[in-house]
Copies of this chain bind each other. A is one copy, B any other.
Amino acid sequence: MTTAIRRLVLDVLKPHVPTILELAEALSKLGGITGVNLSLSEVDQQTETIKITIKGDKIDYLAVESVIEDFGGVIHSIDEVVAGKEIVEGVETAQDR
């Protein structure tokens, strides 16, 4: 297995339209992506904040970013990046508890 970006978690601000549904479909069609999960975090009058979890075998961040921008969205932060030959979960240590 080659090294690649295997999972991304993004915090994204977007307008209500186009909807979270259309954005999910567009992202899921990008190469190197096997699935996306878009979850609504906060809703304001004009905008909504969503958490996007993207899984794949070779995620292209710039392609993801450009789709989100095409949909009028802005990436607030990259909350998690998983890279390598396998997906590694973050480990909760005594420091986190």
Q: Which A residues fall within an 8 A CB radius of B?
A: 3, 5-7, 9, 11, 19-21, 24-25, 27-29, 33-41, 43, 51, 53-55, 61, 77-91, 93-97
Contact = CB atoms under 8 A, between A and B. Distances in A.
A40 B78 contact: yes
* A contact patch SS: strand
Given A7-B91, A24-B82, A51-B96, 16 more contacts: A3-B28, A11-B95, A24-B81, A25-B83, A27-B83, A28-B84, A33-B84, A35-B87, A35-B88, A36-B81, A37-B82, A38-B82, A39-B90, A43-B77, A51-B90, A55-B86
Nearest to A86: B35
